[in-house]
Amino acid sequence: MRQAGRVHLTDALARIGDEVVGTQPRPEPATVLVVGLVVLAVVALPATWRVSRHVVTIAHEGAHGVAALLSGRRLAGIRLHSDTSGLTLSRGRSAGPGMVATALAGYVGPSLLGLGAAYLLRERHALAVLWLAVVLLGLLLLQIRNFYGLYAVLVAGLGVFAVSWWGSEPVQSVAAYAGTWFLLLAAPRPVLELQRQRRRGRARDSDADLLARLTPLPGLAWVGLFLLVTVAALGLGASWLLGLLWGR
């Protein structure tokens, strides 16, 4: 029985490996466009944005965590809250390049993740997008330190895993494109919301204001940089996805 279990696990890992490195047919151009328009409506409408914004928060806090680790800081845990806010705690110097990189990563992280996914889709690796999402969510789950965060990441991870394992090829393709469109289209909105809160004096501890305290640049300059990166990533990522309309 134990040997059979090992065989099944080996077969499963081999299947996942083949899907990650393999290529899948691109969907019809009209499908890519329609998926993008549907996602745009989800981001634009207040009712759907209140729910879907949790996905941006997961990517935002995950980006903080990755930046902290890559810059040599010790990740102390991540919390996600039901009001779509989050908190990433890391240990290390309270100033310097590592802290700057960690603070900078949050608002630009979702758009850069979406840009990477768009590149994989351009190269016809839709299943790689889904399986990488499963891996990243699994790693993030290990760092979550509150119940709601565990719930949110677990639901997202199981949802992506179910599509990756049991979904048909068209369903998997649409899911990969929908997730990519969402990261690209949604990333600029929290930046705009951040600046509105800053104007009202409600975001004194925001990433932009933390960066202003760590560097000579004012908070508004950092908000401008966040917006520039997210809009540029949206433009480039959309050109890769919509390149299908022109046969590229």
Please check whether residue 180 is in contact with residue 121, taking contact to mean a CB–CB distance below 8 angstroms.
yes
pLDDT per residue rounded down to tens, the chain (248 residues): 555 556 566 766 666 676 666 688 888 889 999 999 999 999 999 999 999 999 999 999 999 999 999 999 999 999 999 999 999 999 988 889 999 999 999 999 999 999 999 999 999 999 999 999 999 999 999 999 999 999 999 999 999 999 999 999 999 999 999 999 999 999 999 999 999 998 888 777 899 999 999 999 999 999 999 999 999 999 999 999 998 555 55
Residue 214 lies in a domain: yes
Please give the pLDDT value at position 140.
Answer: 96
Q: Which helix (H) or strand (E) holds 87?
A: strand 86-91
- Kindly report the pTM of this predicted structure: 0.92
- The answer to whether the beta carbons of residues 70 and 55 sit under 8 Å apart is no
Backbone angles phi, psi at 11, to 5 degrees: -65, -40
Structure tokens at 155: 């639901």
pLDDT at 46: 96
* pLDDT value of residue 244: 55
Question: What's the rounded Cα separation, in Å, for the pair 241 and 122?
Answer: 6
Sign, CA dihedral 215-220-221-224, equals positive
CB-CB contact of 195 with 223 (8 Å): yes
The answer to whether position 230 is within a domain reads yes
Question: Would 8 be classed as within a structural domain?
Answer: no
Is 15 within the bounds of a domain? no
The one-letter amino acid code at 81 reads H
The first and second tokens of residue 123, run together, are: 């190269």
> Which residue blocks in the chain are alpha helix, DSSP H?
2-21, 29-44, 46-70, 97-122, 126-141, 147-166, 169-186, 188-199, 207-214, 219-242
Q: What pLDDT was estimated at residue 23?
A: 81
209 strand-pairing partners: none
24 occurs within a structural domain? no
Residue position matching structure tokens 């179910």: 162
User: Residue 45's CB: how many other CB atoms inside 10 A?
Assistant: 11
Residue 185 lies in a domain: yes
Handedness of CA 9, 13, 18, 19 (dihedral sign): positive
83: closest CA among 180, 133, 144, 148?
Answer: 148
pLDDT of amino acid 18: 64
Burial of 202 (C-beta count, 10 Å sphere; 0-12/13-18/19+) = exposed
Please indicate, yes or no, if residue 188 is contained in any of the structural domains: yes
Which residue range forms the structural domain that includes residue 46? Answer: 29-246
- Among 65, 161, 44, which Cα is nearest to 113's? 65
In a domain, 130, yes or no: yes
Structural domains in the chain (count): 1
- Rounded Cα distance between 199 and 66, Å, is 29
